[in-house]
Structure 1
Amino acid sequence: MKKLVVLGAGESGVGTAILGKKKGFEVFVSDKGTITDHYKNVLINFEIEWEEQKHTEDKILNADVVMKSPGIPDKVELVKKLYRNGIPVISEIEFASEFTSAKVVGITGSNGKTTTTMLTHHVLKNGGIDVNMAGNIGDSFAKQVVENDTPYYVLELSSFQLDGIVKFAPHIAVLTNITPDHLDRYEYKFENYIASKFRITLNQTERDYFIYDGDDEIIKKYIEEHPIRSRLLPFSLTRKVENGAYLEGEKITITIDNNELTMPTKDLALKGNHNVKNAMAAATVSQLLKIRKTTIRECLENFHGVEHRLENVLKINNVQYVNDSKATNVNATFYALDAMKSATVWIVGGVDKGNDYTELYPLVNEKVKAIICLGVDNSKIINAFGNCVDNIVETQSMKEAVNMAYKIAERNENVLLSPACASFDLFKNYEERGRQFKEAVREL
């Protein structure tokens, strides 16, 4: 009996453990932190052996295969030992993909991947395809493979999940964009992070498809230097493309082998240029999978976005409060500030991942009237924007930040939570940060 060790008992870890157990592996789950009661009960229910608050090495180093949670970096000593002992260390995505014959749409990118994943799933489901959504969203891929396997999956994939693949190959890969993110995990080398994102194309063949932002210089350069086997379908806001998607005037055109779909941008439910790109990516996937054109158009017209991504919460005294907690990097915040049409009080801060704030200067100069820092250490933000904005305030809780914003913002202005940073200093995750923001706004 082969031994599967799972490091990390979160959604992906517990899903992998269940799948491994069902497929006849001897399974051991080890988590250095505490395991939540919910996941403990699941493990007990499936009679899976587990431990918490430690890693017992002699129970781990005799594994045939190890699935590590995407949150555990490669530089951890235990992971290095596994590599030295020649034990394969893979991601949940790799493990689960061995046990399904489903066609996979894999979506990655520094920004836009959640919106694109949900939008793609929305169109495919409405188009009559039996499809699940997993990866960074909802129930884990592994859990769905074991409990409710479907012929198609739309997977939102982080670079950490892609780092742990060996044979995994999506039939359709989507790369929304690449901007510096998570550099703390990639030795602060942007090229390592870029290579990690492109692992989505690693095992694709000529029969597969790669949909990508054709305006992104970093992506274009990488493709020129590293030929990709799958069929290339770019989307662009600036130039016509023969196969793929482009914007001309106020109209999107998507062409695949002379089969054309057009749609006016004014009909898109999600506003902003970045959402035009997300819609292009989702529509290209849908067209490849032969969804009816009327269905694609209707779905792009009625899809209303993702929680914590430029989400309008409330208008109070004519001030619009906007929750963009999902903006965990500078580029995401760039889109958020760009979307603000009037003066904005900006709530920013958290765990900095090696951010370079300079690209925000023009937008901050133009739109931001005050900055409210929300982090344990705000020195980098204060240094970065001290010359752009006169009013910079430090706060230590969401309630305090929102109350301060309420005092500063005036009629017809915005209060924007768009942190540009990870949330782990004061919150469990970006969802909790966003929920606290919405609660604090409702209490005003």
Structure 2
Amino acid sequence: MSKRIVILGAGESGSGAAVLAKVKGFDTFVSDMSAIKDKYKDLMARYDIPWEEGQHTEELILTADEVIKSPGIPNEAPLILKLKAQGTPIISEIEFAGRYTDATMICITGSNGKTTTTSLTYHIFKSAGLNVGLAGNIGKSLALQVAEDHHDYYIIELSSFQLDNMYEFRANIAVLMNITPDHLDRYDHNMQNYIDAKFRITQNQTPEDAFIFWNDDPIIKQQLDKHGIHAHLYPFAAVKEDGAIAYVEDHEVVINEPIAFNMEQEKLALTGTHNLYNSLAAGISANLAGITKESIRKALSDFHGVEHRLEMVARVRGVDYINDSKATNVNSCWYALQSMTTKTVLILGGTDKGNDYTEIADLVHEKCRGLVFLGADNSKLHTFFDSFGLPIIDVHSMKDAVDAAYHMAQKGDTVLLSPCCASFDLFKNYEDRGTQFKEYVRNL
């Protein structure tokens, strides 16, 4: 009798995992507590995969030999606890897909910058003509690509939730951008648990593999020895310093290993310090893969950026509107504010994940003309920011947020949507939030 695999959650990762399980001959079943999107139902119908939505039928799930869990389902969900109690292995879609491909895996994580770094790395590899897939938090499901396409390389963005359920998977090139408090609500409000999740990207690495990381991150520096990393280390920094193999010196981007590389910093498509880190990490990854210097230079200079990440929307009556809806934590907003060169009206708020706004306090004092609180419950924001003496307006829809910011901003200012929070109180997801922002700005 074939092994039974149950997939919990039928989004991009779950439906892809189901296809791969079916193709590999497993008895496959998919269960989702929510409604399943039509495109995923169609995909499962093509492969004759049984599924259910709006419920979890325990007698169909607890009989699994192995469960593939969507990263969005908490480890403490009652059904997950039951599965654990009976000893059923629970893995992530990435872990499962990794068993069926010998492609080179370039895996990127970090509290901030991972989507831009992943997209930029993919752009370099693709532009160089390599057979490469984009997967993980962005792109198509890795499992679906392993089932339907064959790629020599995969560029994979990994969240801490995906890493939580990865055990045997090995990253040939692992990139850790930074570690700042995020998702602490999922880690018992214990920072060490979150740090350990991020460092799982280095597990199973050998001396033939590479670990690329930001040299100045205090948490990474302090934790390096603790995690017993076997891979070759490739630290990067903004300026030349002890240990760093990539940095900027005399307005030149320099990468010393494995092959000497340089280019003028002003030629980088992405600007700002945080984007310099993204460019260095992507450049080192491409260098390790043997992509030519000319190809790396060209791709680093013609990349277009990521939607919803510091995305310029429009200039209306002398005011710039920037969509940074992807800033779902405080540190992302810090990067955005740090890159502002004008007085700024900041739109923030949403589902708070245990945020500490102290990190952006100085920048808000220095750069903000006013604040617009966009959330179902803004009480925590008021508690923190009311004493700043800035104009504050509460709104509960994106249209009202854009209108409020329009009236608050003066010519030469910037209106920045950089919410610090998840979007689920008022929007489907951060993309929906950013798309609505762009629509209302364009209607001004």
TM-score category by the smaller chain? over 0.9
Provide the residue aligned with 1:118 in structure 2. 119
Are 1:178 and 1:218, in contact at CA under 8 Å, matched by a contact in 2?
Answer: yes
Question: Aligned partners of 2:195, 2:47: CA distance in 1, in Å?
Answer: 39
TM-score by length of 2: 0.98
Secondary structure of 1:256's aligned partner: coil
Question: Aligned partners of 1:59, 1:424: CA distance in 2, in Å?
Answer: 30
Superposed, 1:371-390 pairs within 5 Å as 371-390=371-390
Are 1:109 and 1:175, in contact at CA under 8 Å, matched by a contact in 2?
Answer: yes
Provide the residue aligned with 1:140 in structure 2. 141
Are 2:328 and 2:421, in contact at CA under 8 Å, matched by a contact in 1?
Answer: yes
Question: Aligned partners of 1:227, 1:44: CA distance in 2, in Å?
Answer: 45
Q: CA deviation at 1:249?
A: 3.3
The size of the alignment, in residue pairs, is: 443
Q: CA deviation at 1:224?
A: 2.7
Deviation digits for residues 362-420 of structure 1 (CA, Å, limit 9, x no counterpart): 10001111100111011111111112242111100000100111111110001100000
Counterpart check, 1:274 vs 2:274: yes
Q: CA deviation at 1:244?
A: 2.5
Are 1:3 and 1:64, in contact at CA under 8 Å, matched by a contact in 2?
Answer: yes
What is the root-mean-square deviation in Å for CA atoms of aligned residues? 1.0
Are 1:243 and 1:256, in contact at CA under 8 Å, matched by a contact in 2?
Answer: no
Superposed, 1:362-373 pairs within 5 Å as 362-373=362-373
Deviation digits for residues 133-160 of structure 1 (CA, Å, limit 9, x no counterpart): 1101121001111111211100000000
Q: Which amino acid aligns with 2:109?
A: T
Are 2:253 and 2:263, in contact at CA under 8 Å, matched by a contact in 1?
Answer: yes
**Structure 1 runs not aligned, ≥5 long:** none
Q: CA deviation at 1:241?
A: 5.0
Question: Aligned partners of 1:100, 1:227: CA distance in 2, in Å?
Answer: 26
Provide the residue aligned with 1:95 in structure 2. 96
Q: Which moved more, 1:230-239 or 1:395-404?
A: 230-239
Provide the residue aligned with 2:395 in structure 1. 395
Superposed, 1:195-274 pairs within 5 Å as 195-241=196-242, 244-257=245-258, 259-274=259-274
Question: Aligned partners of 1:44, 1:274: CA distance in 2, in Å?
Answer: 43
Q: Which amino acid aligns with 1:192?
A: N
Question: Aligned partners of 1:242, 1:184: CA distance in 2, in Å?
Answer: 34
Provide the residue aligned with 1:349 in structure 2. 349
Sequence identity of aligned pairs in percent?
Answer: 53
Q: Which amino acid aligns with 1:205?
A: T
Provide the residue aligned with 1:150 in structure 2. 151
Secondary structure of 1:416's aligned partner: strand
Q: Which amino acid aligns with 2:405?
A: A
Are 1:240 and 1:247, in contact at CA under 8 Å, matched by a contact in 2?
Answer: no
Deviation digits for residues 158-204 of structure 1 (CA, Å, limit 9, x no counterpart): 00000011100110000011100000000000110000000000111
Q: CA deviation at 1:125?
A: 1.4
Q: Which amino acid aligns with 2:342?
A: S
Q: Which amino acid aligns with 2:310?
A: L
Question: Aligned partners of 1:243, 1:329: CA distance in 2, in Å?
Answer: 27
Are 2:329 and 2:355, in contact at CA under 8 Å, matched by a contact in 1?
Answer: yes
Superposed, 1:303-322 pairs within 5 Å as 303-322=303-322
Q: CA deviation at 1:40?
A: 1.7
Are 2:240 and 2:246, in contact at CA under 8 Å, matched by a contact in 1?
Answer: no
Provide the residue aligned with 2:186 in structure 1. 185
Secondary structure of 1:237's aligned partner: strand
Q: Which amino acid aligns with 1:317?
A: R
Superposed, 1:58-77 pairs within 5 Å as 58-77=59-78
Secondary structure of 2:206's aligned partner: coil
Deviation digits for residues 82-115 of structure 1 (CA, Å, limit 9, x no counterpart): 1111111000000001111111000000000010
